[in-house]
Amino acid sequence: MTDPRAIAGKVADAVSGLDGLRLATSLAAEISWLPSDPSGGAVELAGNTVEIRLLALRLPLPPLLASAEAAVREALAGTEWADAHLRLVVAGLAGSAVGG
């Protein structure tokens, strides 16, 4: 069995490398002295579903989400979540994405 915290961190790293998206993390992720989820709470591995909460920094969304899906699939390869259903949730849109 693969450690879910390690896999969440691996998924977070994959998404962090993408241009135009970032993880929608909780405040606790900003506090380095607290032992917390390496993904800052933005990645959830539950059953046969992997949910990633994202902040879009630009538009259009479809190509950004396609890149995110490819990166996440690569990060999950060889794990028990390799064939999991992916749920990419755009939890927020940066003002810069809409000219603000």
User: pLDDT by residue (tens digit) across 10-37?
Assistant: 999 999 989 999 999 865 545 554 445 5
Measured from the Cβ of residue 29, the count of other Cβ atoms closer than 10 Å reads: 18
**Alpha helix segments (H runs only) across the chain:** 4-16, 61-76
User: Which pLDDT score is estimated for 29?
Assistant: 47
Q: Which tens digit of pLDDT belongs to each residue from 65-93?
A: 999 999 999 999 999 999 999 999 999 99
Which of the four CATH numbers 1.10.8, 3.40.50, 1.10.3470, 3.30.300 does domain 4-98 have?
3.30.300
Domain-by-domain residue ranges, the chain? 4-98
Strands 43-46 and 49-56: what pairing? Answer: antiparallel
Answer whether residue 97 shows pLDDT above 80: no
pTM of the model: 0.83
Measured from the Cβ of residue 96, the count of other Cβ atoms closer than 10 Å reads: 11
AA letter at 83:
D
